[in-house]
Amino acid sequence: MQFETLKWVGGIDGFLELTDQRRLPGVYEKLNCQTPEQLFEAIVTLAVRGAPAIGVSAAYGVCIAGRQLSQDISLTDALVELKKAIDYLASSRPTAVNLFWALERMQQKMTVFAGDCPDGSVDMLRQILLDEAHAICAEDQAMCQAIGQHGMPLIPEGGAVLTHCNAGALATAGIGTALAPMYAAHEAGRRFTVYVDETRPLLQGARLTAWELTQAGIDAVLICDNMAASLMSAGKIDAVITGADRIVANGDTANKIGTQGVSILAKHFNVPFYIAAPSSTFDLSIETGKQIPIEERSANEVKTIEKVSIAPEGVDVYNPAFDVTDAGDITAIITEKGVIDQLEADQIRHFLE
């Protein structure tokens, strides 16, 4: 990759550097987050987005909170302040489970340190937290690579793959989830085409996925969301691969709005439909997709494009950011541990152990 989605700069007094995805593809610009409030804003406004990238960023967000602690604060008070920061960052977005997974890991690291080193210094705690955030980042990068290798056989030579939204390097700390098999196949010399749904209302496919793939030299064809059925009916799509924001115990999967419709089309036209996601995206505490909290976002995202109005003033808007794809419409889930092709609760739990 010729860009880094996120990077920690410096030591315990450092900051988080993000690629500002609100500006792409027209402007490639970095955004420096030096306070939890700045990171919160970056997550809410989608300067950083994608479940794994949000999780890694949130882990570094705890480190950002650590740099704000006063020099003379006690360890007990520092733990209280950091817990406030964790709760604050957890309230930024409700659907992607990687956010909560990463923050829980940071919380556990704090708890263990407090128990093992009650007389430890605040700087020691800050270093341990930074080490943990670095570990979460490195694990995400490794998981992306593994997903790419496990999913590469599903990319047909000379064929075509459809993807929805952005689940590439911009959505992770590594090479991506849904796009990882494509990057791996391209690196291996395989020839194929990727059809990219534009992904309304925020055009993550048009702005981000198409940009990523063309940067990598992969043959990408941008389509409107309502063109997928036409392509499938004409036999032009060999497989669909998307990412995920939360996968529950029975295999139901929350992903960017519109994914559910694509999965139904794929099943109707006998096109394999794959989800690619790391184990950190699974939430086995939830039994079915009906229990997944779905974020609803601003009406302006639907009524405007690049701040230009495309709808009449005062019209009502419904704008859920995600929908839930039924496990029965998913052919398999590609993870860093391999491919899960039996989407039943017992098999999923056993596979992830």
Give catalytic residues, as residue numbers: 245
Alpha carbon of residue 222 to chain centroid:
21
Is the four-CA dihedral 236, 203, 179, 325 of positive or negative sign? negative
Given phi > 0 = left and psi -120 to 50 = alpha, else beta, which region is 257? beta
Q: Give the CA distances from residue 121 to residues 12, 60, 84, in Å, rounded to whole numbers and listed in that order.
A: 13, 20, 19
The Cα 337–Cα 279 span in angstroms is: 8
Contact 95, 71 (CB under 8 A): no
Contact 256, 205 (CB under 8 A): no
The Cα 289–Cα 93 span in angstroms is: 17
Q: Can you name the residues that pair with 254 across neighbouring β-strands?
A: 246, 324
The Cα 107–Cα 32 span in angstroms is: 24
Q: Which two tokens stand for residue 33?
A: 């987050």
Sheet order of strands, 193-197 included: 219-223, 193-197, 160-163, 239-242, 273-276, 332-335, 338-340
For residue 209, the 8-state DSSP code is I
Q: Which two tokens stand for residue 242?
A: 């998307």
Our CA dihedral for 264, 181, 155, 164, rounded to 10 degrees, sits at 30
Q: Which two tokens stand for residue 351?
A: 């596979």
